[in-house]
Amino acid sequence: MNIENFIHKLEAEFDELEPGTLQKNTSFKDLDEWSSMHALIIIALIDTEYDVVLTGEDLSQISTVEELYGIVKVRKE
Amino acid sequence: MAFFTTQNTKIAGIAAAVPKTQESNWDYELLSETEKKLLVKTTGVETRRVAKKGQATSDFCLAAAEKLLAELNWKKDEIDVVVFLSQSRDYYLPATAIILQDRLGLPKSTMAFDVGLGCSGFPYGLSVINSLLSNAGLQKGLLMMGDISSATCAKEDKSTYPLFGDAGTVIAVERDTNANSMQFQLNSDGAGHEAIIIRDGGIRNLVSEDSFRKENIEKGITRSRLNLTLNGLDVFNFSITQVPKSLKAFLEKTDTNATNYDYFVMHQANKLMNESIRKKLKFPVEKVPYSIKEFGNTSSASIPLTLVTQMRKELQEENLQLLLSGFGVGLSWGVVSLNTKKIICPELLEI
């Protein structure tokens, strides 16, 4: 897995976002489009794609896309 | 480990009733247009049925039972047991099942009691009534299940109100020594009891003036301690990890897989969550029916309501092998594998 691919998958799930909106340092929970339902979507995506289960607690402790990628990468290994 | 088999009982019929009034999430004012689209995409819920004030779960179960008994041609004095499984009883006490015995005109020799479960109700309730029929030698029983959730979710709480719908259902179960056995696996995790909870009104937190005070939790979420609180993320996590894990163990134990079942019907909790479970168990889309789009999450009524609204013709005309799984509030979850043989299934009632 690499971060570009990860961002691509993430963006595909947020279909209200303009492509290119998400960057490594994007604080995704601060996006205008962010909603609590995106948390479910992200958890489901990461579970399906990477077989890693994130909790609400995990999501509350991170803010950027890179940090999200970091957790997934560590748990995956 | 609660994995067991029950013998000599069969489902004779299933019926369901819902309120006439329908609400649409597209008209729900607390959500922006983008949020509405996201809600429908994620949860799958577009419309819900909402009971009128004063209509109780038992009213829907009663209507469904009257209709089902008539179509089954069962005599009322043949009913030995009534189980009412719900989290929205008529009164704090007495048990609603007892009131239903009288309202249905069943004999005083009928045993009647309530079971206080929600989303996991179908496998739990069926295991209770099956055990009574097969071990106590009773002949016929009614399992009534459902909830009026619109009464306990705050309309000003976007994290609960748009998800739940009201419904009442009934399953007629009969002793039959030629019936195929049913396999059950039932589980509990009380450590998660706060994930879905109504905090006040029980003995732990007696109703007080504070119970009624509406508290603004965040934008779009205002509720009192008498309203349902749902920790969506915790429930989501539980449902995509623990539930498929238990289901996989069940399939292993029964030496079955998706090809052995005609349908896999899940509690209608959330489309994204249910689809995740479906994929993990490798069931094809066509074997997994949904009623969540039209009716929302109807608690313990969701499996029978899905059977009646999505599979009525097949249930009436064919023999089906079914895998039925309920999961949620408690936390509590379970699964049953059973066989139906051309059962009686009246059309959905609207009252």
Which tens digits make up the pLDDT trace of A46-57?
Answer: 998 898 988 888
pLDDT at res. B252: 97
pLDDT at res. A2: 87
Do B330 and B188 form a contact (C-beta atoms < 8 A)?
Answer: yes
Produce one character per residue of B198-218: b if its CB has 16 or more CB atoms within 10 Å, e if not: bbbeeeeeeeeeebeeeeeee
Tell me the sheet residues that pair with A70. Answer: none
Would you say residue A48 lies in a domain?
A: yes
Query: Which of B38, B158, B275 would best serve as a mutation to test chain A binding (most A beta carbons within 10 A)?
Result: B38
In terms of residue numbers, what domain contains B115?
A: 1-351
Average model confidence (pLDDT) for chain A?
Answer: 86
pLDDT at res. A11: 85
For residue A75, pLDDT over 80 is answered with: yes
Query: Which of B43, B237, B273 would best serve as a mutation to test chain A binding (most A beta carbons within 10 A)?
Result: B237
Least CB-CB distance to B42: which of A40, A47, A54? A40
Of the candidates B260, B51, B219, B101, the residue with the CA atom closest to the CA atom of residue A34: B219
**CATH number of the domain enclosing B252:** 3.40.47.10
Query: Which of A17, A42, A47 would best serve as a mutation to test chain B binding (most B beta carbons within 10 A)?
Result: A47
Partner A contacted by B233 (CB < 8 A): yes
Give the three-state DSSP class for B145. Answer: strand
Q: Do B237 and A55 touch (CB under 8 A)?
A: yes
pLDDT at res. B251: 98
User: The complex's ipTM?
Assistant: 0.83
Residue of A nearest to B37 (CA): A16
Query: Which of A13, A14, A18, A35 would best serve as a mutation to test chain B binding (most B beta carbons within 10 A)?
Result: A35
Q: Do B240 and A35 touch (CB under 8 A)?
A: no
Partner A contacted by B34 (CB < 8 A): yes
Would you say residue A19 lies in a domain?
A: no
Sheet-wide strand order for B263-266: B3-6, B182-188, B332-341, B319-328, B263-266
Partner A contacted by B242 (CB < 8 A): no
pLDDT at res. B268: 98
Least CB-CB distance to A47: which of B43, B232, B276? B276
CA A55 to chain centre: 12
For residue A30, pLDDT over 90 is answered with: no
Of the candidates B339, B194, B172, the residue with the CA atom closest to the CA atom of residue B254: B339
Of the candidates B39, B51, B27, B32, the residue with the CA atom closest to the CA atom of residue B301: B51
CA B29 to chain centre: 28
Q: How many domains does chain B have?
A: 1
Residue of B nearest to A56 (CA): B233
Residue of B nearest to A15 (CA): B38
Q: Is the pTM here over 0.90, yes or no?
A: yes
Q: In this structure, what token pair is assigned to residue B33?
A: 């247009």
**Which residues on A lie below 8 Å from B272 (Cβ)?**
40-41, 44
- Report the C-alpha gap between B101 and B113 in whole angstroms: 10
Q: Do A47 and B240 touch (CB under 8 A)?
A: yes
Q: How many domains does chain A have?
A: 1
For residue A16, pLDDT over 80 is answered with: no
In terms of residue numbers, what domain contains A41?
A: 3-14+26-76
pLDDT at res. B73: 98
Q: Which residue ranges of chain B lie beneath pLDDT 70?
A: none
pLDDT at res. B140: 98
- Tokens 């949904």 correspond to B290
Residue of B nearest to A49 (CA): B276
Do B298 and B153 form a contact (C-beta atoms < 8 A)?
Answer: no
CA distance A14 to chain B (A): 9
CA distance A45 to chain B (A): 9
Give the three-state DSSP class for B256. Answer: coil
C-alpha count within 13 angstroms, C-beta hemisphere, residue B16: 25
Would you say residue A21 lies in a domain?
A: no
Mean pLDDT within A41-68: 89
